[in-house]
Amino acid sequence: MMILTKPIKEKLIANHKHHKEYWNDEHPKYKEFKAVLKLFNPTGIGTWYLSELDPETNIAFGLCCLTEKELGYVNLDELLGFKGQMGLGIERDRYFKSKTLEECKSL
């Protein structure tokens, strides 16, 4: 399965360009950012709700749920290169509907 379809990647990059405006604010509006992509580890812990992607570095931003739920950055190359038990890699939730990062915290 293709993890980053063209429409998903374009939306993540568009969000990155739009959200750059907030990085200079004292109080970024993280709660309003919408997750476009949900990735998960099918054989262990790890769910990522990603809202944006820097196309130059391939670093994504979103809600990362491992042992704790926290907003942060993740290197998409490293994440997609991960192989868990039985050699299975990270997968995309094809049925995920876009939600704010705040809404994703309660999932």
- Amino acid 2: pLDDT: 85
- Amino acid 80: pLDDT: 92
pLDDT tens for the 107 residues of the chain, in order: 789 999 999 999 999 988 776 555 444 566 678 999 999 999 999 999 999 999 999 999 999 999 999 989 999 999 999 998 888 999 999 999 999 998 999 98
9's CB contacts (< 8 A; 6+ apart) are 53
Task: Name residue, tokens 């262990």.
Answer: 44
Sign of the four-CA dihedral 7, 70, 48, 74: positive
What is the residue type of 84?
G
- Amino acid 58: pLDDT: 96
